């Protein structure tokens, strides 16, 4: 049997020095189960906040972006992402979607501004007193405005362009066809528009024949729906005679013509205008044409008399030209009388073909060339 061990006396516990970082009862370093103690006070680390539903700013950003409220959608989207990162709420996808939608709307708006600026530059008006741009209704354009007519289009909404450059047409006048309150029919309205535009050209230009050597008169006239709405205006424009385009402003100044040239034009223009009106008469409107033909015959005879006594032509050659013109006028007067006597559409159609068979145009061209008149 082993002898009993001698019991060692217990060593006294030494207190921690007052500078030791842990007070009595403090867990050792590296061990930190809650609750924590500091001195004799226990404290608990608060738990992290848990998500509480979808973030309201994210929802607002998505809705605002969807309806193109761009600035507010961007602001709410950024605020939502910041708060979601702190609170761990749901809705990050909505916030991102709101920002994306706002960005797309912003890009679309910028593209529209750029396209509008380009369209403005291409159609900006620098002539004819128009201060607009782009496509505009012909009814809103002042006289002498230049514009293009879109290919294959009959719309009255046209792109306005500077007259100094190349263009399709130039507006010279607007005329109210008026008349009866009821629509007279498409042929009758077209007939009135043609006659009105021919007269407008002879009024607007010192040398209308010179203009029609490089351009053709074309009218715009109302259909029944427009007429019934109170729009009874005809618009008169000039266009290239074939498929080409016009260049420059076609307006004329009387100061560019000599006194002799102006005297000659004043002598021949009345009969020329009436002849153009007769040629523009539609077969269905032949009854109105007979009235014009009567006036043309009288004007041709008056012109023949004035040519033989006019002092515009000097020298034997020019007097010979004047005599040839007078003879042509009398021939055309006889043809105009036959037109005036037409009593059926077929009789009118047969007689109108002979009106263009006279030698008046070639003799007139000779006189114009020798007087220095040209297109």
User: Mind listing the pLDDT tens digit for each residue in 61-118?
Assistant: 777 767 777 777 777 778 777 777 777 777 778 778 877 877 787 888 787 667 655 4
Mean pLDDT of the chain: 79
- How many other C-beta atoms are found inside a 10 Å radius of the C-beta of residue 175? 19
Secondary element (H or E) of residue 316: helix 315-340
Q: How far is CA 65 from CA 31, 242, 273, in A?
A: 51, 53, 65
- Nearest of 209, 155, 137, 198 to residue 173 by alpha carbon: 198
Using DSSP, state whether 304 is helix, strand or coil.
Answer: helix
Q: Which residue has the higher pLDDT, 6 or 271?
A: 271
Q: What is the pLDDT of residue 129?
A: 40
User: What is the value of pTM for the model shown?
Assistant: 0.63
Q: Is residue 122 predicted with pLDDT exceeding 50? A: no
CA angle 84, 87, 89 (to 5 degrees): 60
Buried b (16+ CB within 10 A) or exposed e, 216-229: ebebbbbeeebbee
Is residue 139 a part of any domain in this protein? yes
d(CA 212, CA 239): 10
Same structural domain, 155 and 93: no
Helix axes 286-309, 315-340, angle to 10 degrees: 160
Residues 6+ away with beta carbon under 8 Å from 130:
141, 142, 145, 160
Domain boundary among 76, 108, 123: 123
Is residue 144 a part of any domain in this protein? yes
Same structural domain, 131 and 237: yes
Peptide bond into 35 cis (omega under 30): yes
Same structural domain, 280 and 347: yes
Is the CB of residue 57 less than 8 Å from the CB of residue 86? no
Same structural domain, 225 and 334: no
Is the CB of residue 158 less than 8 Å from the CB of residue 138? yes
* Average pLDDT, integer, range 297-324: 91
Is residue 282 a part of any domain in this protein? yes
Is residue 2 a part of any domain in this protein? no
Q: What is the pLDDT of residue 87?
A: 72
Is the CB of residue 214 less than 8 Å from the CB of residue 193? no
The top-scoring range by mean pLDDT among 70-74, 208-212, 240-244 is: 208-212
d(CA 329, CA 360): 7
- Cα dihedral value 11, 17, 23, 28, nearest 10: -70
d(CA 353, CA 360): 15
Residue 43 pairs with which residues in a beta bridge?
Answer: 36
Rounded percentage of the chain residues whose pLDDT exceeds 90: 42
- How many other C-beta atoms are found inside a 10 Å radius of the C-beta of residue 96? 17
Is residue 272 a part of any domain in this protein? yes
Is the CB of residue 81 less than 8 Å from the CB of residue 87? no
Residue recorded with tokens 């289009």: 153
Is the CB of residue 303 less than 8 Å from the CB of residue 352? no
Per-residue pLDDT band for 47 (boundaries 50, 70, 90) equals: low
Q: What is the pLDDT of residue 358?
A: 58
Q: Which domain holds residue 99?
A: 56-123
d(CA 354, CA 173): 31
Q: Which residue has the higher pLDDT, 135 or 359?
A: 135
Radius of gyration of the chain (CA): 47
Q: Which residue has the higher pLDDT, 105 or 27?
A: 105
- The domain tally of the chain equals 3
Q: What is the pLDDT of residue 310?
A: 86
* Average pLDDT, integer, range 152-167: 81
Same structural domain, 113 and 138: no
Distance of alpha carbon 40 from its chain centroid, rounded? 87
Same structural domain, 146 and 136: yes
Same structural domain, 245 and 335: no
Same structural domain, 324 and 343: yes
Q: Is residue 356 predicted with pLDDT exceeding 80? A: no
Is the CB of residue 211 less than 8 Å from the CB of residue 276? no
Q: What is the pLDDT of residue 43?
A: 46
Same structural domain, 118 and 135: no
* Average pLDDT, integer, range 291-298: 95
Strand segments (E) across the chain = 36-38, 41-43, 135-137, 146-147, 157-161, 166-167, 169-176, 216-220, 233-239, 246-247
Q: What is the pLDDT of residue 166?
A: 92
Q: Which residue has the higher pLDDT, 120 or 374?
A: 374
Is residue 20 a part of any domain in this protein? no
Is residue 166 a part of any domain in this protein? yes
Domain boundary among 208, 229, 255: 255
Per-residue pLDDT band for 169 (boundaries 50, 70, 90) equals: very high
Domain boundary among 255, 282, 306: 255
224 backbone dihedrals φ, ψ, rounded to 5°: -65, -40
Q: Is residue 206 predicted with pLDDT exceeding 90? A: yes
Is residue 249 a part of any domain in this protein? yes
Residue recorded with tokens 């077929």: 346
Same structural domain, 109 and 129: no
Same structural domain, 248 and 361: no
* Average pLDDT, integer, range 241-268: 91
Q: What is the pLDDT of residue 5?
A: 52
Q: What is the pLDDT of residue 125?
A: 36
Per-residue pLDDT band for 126 (boundaries 50, 70, 90) equals: very low
Same structural domain, 99 and 135: no
């Amino acid at each position: 049997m082993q002898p009993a061990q001698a019991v060692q006396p217990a060593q006294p516990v030494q207190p921690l020095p007052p500078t030791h970082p842990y007070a009595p009862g403090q867990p050792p370093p590296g061990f930190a189960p809650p609750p924590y103690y500091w001195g004799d006070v226990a404290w608990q680390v608060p738990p992290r906040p848990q998500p509480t539903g979808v973030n309201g700013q994210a929802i607002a950003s998505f809705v605002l972006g969807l309806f193109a409220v761009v600035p507010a959608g961007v602001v709410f989207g950024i605020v939502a992402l910041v708060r979601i990162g702190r609170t761990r709420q749901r809705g990050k996808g909505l916030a991102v979607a709101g920002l994306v939608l706002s960005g797309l709307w912003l890009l679309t708006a910028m593209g529209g501004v750029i396209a509008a600026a380009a369209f403005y530059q291409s159609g900006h008006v620098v002539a004819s007193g128009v201060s607009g741009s782009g496509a505009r209704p012909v009814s809103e354009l002042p006289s002498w405005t230049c514009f293009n007519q879109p290919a294959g289009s009959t719309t009255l909404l046209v792109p306005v362009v500077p007259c100094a450059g190349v263009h399709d047409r130039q507006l010279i006048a607007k005329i109210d066809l008026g008349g009866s309150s009821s629509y007279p029919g498409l042929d009758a309205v077209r007939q009135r528009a043609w006659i009105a535009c021919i007269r407008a050209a002879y009024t607007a230009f010192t040398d209308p024949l010179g203009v029609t050597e490089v351009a053709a008169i074309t009218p715009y006239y109302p259909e029944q729906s427009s007429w019934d709405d109170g729009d009874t205006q005809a618009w008169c424009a000039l266009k290239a005679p074939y498929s080409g385009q016009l260049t420059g402003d076609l307006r004329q100044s009387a100061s560019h013509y000599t006194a002799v040239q102006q005297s000659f034009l004043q002598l021949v223009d009345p009969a020329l205008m009436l002849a153009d009106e007769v040629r523009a008469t539609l077969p269905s409107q032949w009854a109105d044409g007979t009235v014009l033909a009567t006036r043309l015959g009288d004007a041709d005879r008056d012109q023949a008399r004035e040519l033989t006594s006019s002092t515009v032509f000097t020298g034997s050659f020019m007097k010979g030209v004047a005599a040839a013109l007078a003879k042509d006028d009398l021939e055309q007067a006889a043809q105009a009388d036959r037109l005036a006597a037409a009593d059926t559409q077929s009789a009118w159609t047969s007689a109108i073909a002979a009106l263009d068979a006279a030698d008046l145009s070639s003799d007139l061209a000779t006189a114009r060339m020798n007087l220095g008149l040209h297109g």
